[in-house]
Structure 1
Amino acid sequence: MSEYRSLEDKLNYQFNDEQLLGLALTHRSFSNVNNERLEFLGDSILNYVISLAIFQRFDSASEGELSRMRSSLVRKETLAEIGRELDIGELIKFGIGERKSGGINRSSILADAVESIFGGILVDGGFLNASSVITRVFNKRLEKLSSDDFMKDPKSLLQEKLQDMGEPPPDYIIISTKGKSPHEVFEVACISRVLKKEARAEGASKRKAEQKAARIALTEMDRDR
Structure 2
Amino acid sequence: MNNLDFQKNIKYEFKNANYLEKALTHSSFVQEKNERCGKDNERLEFLGDAFFDAIISEELFKKLTKVPEGKLTKLRASIVCEKSLAEQGKKLNVGKFLKMGKGEEHMGGRDRDSIIADAMEAIMAAIFLDGGFDEAKNFVLRTFEETIEDAVSGKLTKDYKTELQESLQTNGDVKICYQIDKEEGPDHNKTFYVSLFVDGRQIGEGAGKSKKEAEQSAAKYALESGGDKCILKE
Q: How does 1:1-225 map to 2 (within 5 A)?
A: 3-31=2-30, 32=37, 33-146=39-152, 160-161=160-161, 171-172=168-169, 188-193=171-176
- Once residues 155 and 166 of structure 2 are traced to their aligned partners in structure 1, the CA distance between those partners, rounded to angstroms, is 20
TM-score, with structure 1 as normaliser: 0.68
DSSP-derived class of the 2:173 partner:
strand
Max Rg structure: 1
Contact 2:45 2:121 in 1 (8 A): yes
Q: Which residue of 2 aligns with 1:182?
A: none
- Once residues 143 and 169 of structure 1 are traced to their aligned partners in structure 2, the CA distance between those partners, rounded to angstroms, is 25
Task: Tell me which moved more, 132-141 or 50-59.
Answer: 132-141
Count of residues in correspondence between the two structures: 169
Structure 1 stretches of 4+ with a deviation exceeding 6 A read 167-170
Contact 2:86 2:117 in 1 (8 A): yes
TM-score, with structure 2 as normaliser: 0.65
Deviations 1:5-41 (A, max 9, x none): 2221222211111111010011111113200000011
Contact 2:52 2:140 in 1 (8 A): yes
Using the aligned pairs only, state the percent identity. 34
Deviations 1:50-92 (A, max 9, x none): 0000110111111111111111111101100011000011111
Q: Which residue of 2 aligns with 1:202?
A: none
Contact 1:80 1:107 in 2 (8 A): yes
Q: 1:100 to 1:148 in 2, by over 3 A?
A: closer
Q: 1:149 to 1:10 in 2, by over 3 A?
A: closer
Q: 1:94 to 1:134 in 2, by over 3 A?
A: same
